[in-house]
Structure 1
Amino acid sequence: MTSLPWLDPDQLWFPSASEALDDPDGLLALGGDLSTERLILAYKSGIFPWYSDDQPILWWSPDPRCVLFPEEIHVSRSLRRTLNQGRFTVTADQAFGRIIRLCASTRAEGTWITEDMIASYSALHREGAAHSIEVWNHKGELAGGMYGVAVGQCFFGESMFSLETNASKVLMVHLANQLREWDYKIMDCQVESRHLLTMGARTIPRKEFLSILRTCVDRKPNQHDWIIRWQWTGPEA
């Protein structure tokens, strides 16, 4: 770790993601800050922060990268039945503060979502770059949620939680369908998990991921408003 570059908070830059370590996979740099400018630059460069309270800020770009192309979302028969039952309502940007704190507090293994992270992503949300997706049950209670960052035609998922069975899967289907409609090209899932892979996510080499970013992060998606309530309209949605 001592050979990694330390970032100066007063200088806005990152080393190339290709310089990240193989072990631990993707560790690239330390230090810097969590300013909105640095966070946006990080996402454009295929980099994200991930650290705990007792560490300096750590910046990562793993290889391979887990991604979901919106048109490849997989809806199983059982999940389609859940969607058709209308058990959940999915919204966006209705409860960002609650969602990011629930993402932090519901992780049994602990969290990297420190108070500094919450403050910084909340600032990104106020500037229109960070967004929350909420899943509500029929009682109007939060059943699941996610927050992430939108830059150009790319959406970078940061964290997700589920308090009820299938809530996170319903969220992923609605989000992927909307991203596709808005002409987003990719959703970054960072690191693979069984849950994500069953939803249609896959891993691609970091080189390919960075190439997609170079093409898409500076392109505007279709005109849209993230404050939205999504409805499931059937198999073709």
Structure 2
Amino acid sequence: MTQRSFEQFFKNPRTWKEDLVAVGGDFSVDRLLYAYKHGIFPWSEDPVRWYCLDPRAIFDLKRVHFSKTVLRKVKQNKFRISFNEAFPIVMQGCSYREKDNTWITPGFIQGYAELHRLGWAHSVEVWNLENVLVGGVYGVAIGKFFAGESMFSFESDAGKIGLYHLFDKLKQSGFTLFDTQQLNHVTWQLGAYEIPKLSYLDRLERALGDGRPWVIPTSLG
């Protein structure tokens, strides 16, 4: 589809008053990139529903609050941290729910795996001493903007440890906006907060910059 086609498909978040801005379409790379560049993200597959929330939850990368327990586990180096080693498996881990239905359905995994293959989506993996994946985080990076999609923990705090290392890399790379979409108990404890949609869209426009994919720094810490 062309830029004009996407403009016709999605409501303009700057003028549209509702959170839901489109229904339908697919998880093609071009559609996903257009959506993220305009503050829009998908939240279901059948049908695909696209949202731009007001208010919007974000992190200030300089004011993230990790508990003493998490920071102690980071310093103990009991986990191996990797980037982009197991992207689809991280998404599958994030999709696991004991009771509730997940929004990370097969179409999401297929679409975002293609984003990952082309360098736009990234994962952080947390492995235990037996080299078993026990936690992870994934999201989309464009310019100096990162959209955090989901994280999981199969061992206590493993997802937060992955998030700690993700934040560290983003700060090394000079990122200016981390979108976490909607507040929940975990993100609130970590320091996420809400801003008006129009303020978010202004920050997003500045953070996108040249719109290049993220090249992750190779050094840890």
Q: Establish whether TM, by shorter chain, passes 0.5.
A: yes
Matched, 1:183 2:174: yes
Q: Secondary structure at the match of 1:160?
A: strand
**Structure 2 stretches lacking a partner, 5+ long:** none
Structure 2 match to 1:51: 44
Provide Cα deviations, 1:103-141, integer angstroms capped at 9, x if missing partner.
123463111122221111111111100111111112111
- Once residues 95 and 222 of structure 1 are traced to their aligned partners in structure 2, the CA distance between those partners, rounded to angstroms, is 19
Contact 2:42 2:48 in 1 (8 A): yes
Task: Kindly tell me the number of residue pairs found equivalent between the two proteins.
Answer: 217
Please list every run of at least 4 consecutive aligned residues from structure 1 whose deviation after the TM superposition is greater than 3 angstroms: 219-226, 228-231
The residue type paired with residue 91 of structure 2 is: I
Structure 2 match to 1:174: 165
Structure 2 match to 1:3: none
Q: Secondary structure at the match of 1:72?
A: coil
Matched, 1:128 2:124: no
Of 14, 26, 29, 2:22 maps to 29
Of 206, 210, 216, 2:201 maps to 210
Matched, 1:159 2:132: no
The residue type paired with residue 125 of structure 2 is: E
What TM-score do you get using the length of structure 2 for normalisation? 0.90
- Structure 1 residues 62 and 220: alpha-carbon distance in aligned structure 2, compared to 1, 3 A threshold: closer
Structure 2 match to 1:193: 184
Q: Secondary structure at the match of 1:12?
A: helix
Structure 2 match to 1:16: 12
Structure 2 match to 1:235: none
Provide Cα deviations, 1:23-71, integer angstroms capped at 9, x if missing partner.
xxx212111222101100100100000114xx31100011111111211
The residue type paired with residue 13 of structure 2 is: A
Matched, 1:85 2:81: no
Provide Cα deviations, 1:69-113, integer angstroms capped at 9, x if missing partner.
211111332222222221222211000121112212346311112
The residue type paired with residue 16 of structure 1 is: N
The residue type paired with residue 21 of structure 2 is: L
Identity of aligned residues (%): 35
Structure 1 match to 2:35: 42
Q: Secondary structure at the match of 1:158?
A: strand
What TM-score do you get using the length of structure 1 for normalisation? 0.84
